[in-house]
Amino acid sequence: MTYDSDNIFAKILRGEIPCHRVYEDEQTLVFMDIMPRADGHMLVIPKTPCRNLLDADAAQLAAVMMTAQKVANVAMGVFAADGVTVQQFNEAAGGQEVFHLHFHILPRRTGDALRPPGIMADPDMLAEQAARLRAAVTAA
């Protein structure tokens, strides 16, 4: 399988499509999922082309996982979460829909069910959550 440089996350990285940014460093970008399954649902992606876990190199994986850990810890505090679900899918048969490596970070509270997939969130709510997370990452 080859990397498609026209996927939506590649377009976000090039600034062609807006997103609600939470955190960014030289190697990774974190932004809000526009169809969140939980409050604070973020996506962590490498800035370099990578289809998924199956073709990622060690440096891409290390960078993404370090960032995932950082924002997961921050999200625990911001959303008073009891835990965090981390999801990652590979190829269509594995549930992957956007073919750029990404990890879902979902703050969770005991007893709360995930929202159904495919429901767009209110952009104002995403902007507010992203601002809260950004402030907490900066303070961490």
Active-site residue set: 102
Give me the residue label for tokens 């709510």: 125
DSSP tally for the chain: helices H, then strands E: 3, 5
The torsion angle over the Cα atoms of residues 36, 42, 47 and 53, rounded to 10 degrees, is -80
Whether residue 109 contacts residue 81, with contact meaning beta carbons closer than 8 Å, is answered with yes
Q: How far, in Å, are 11, 65, 70 from residue 106 at the CA level?
A: 23, 14, 13
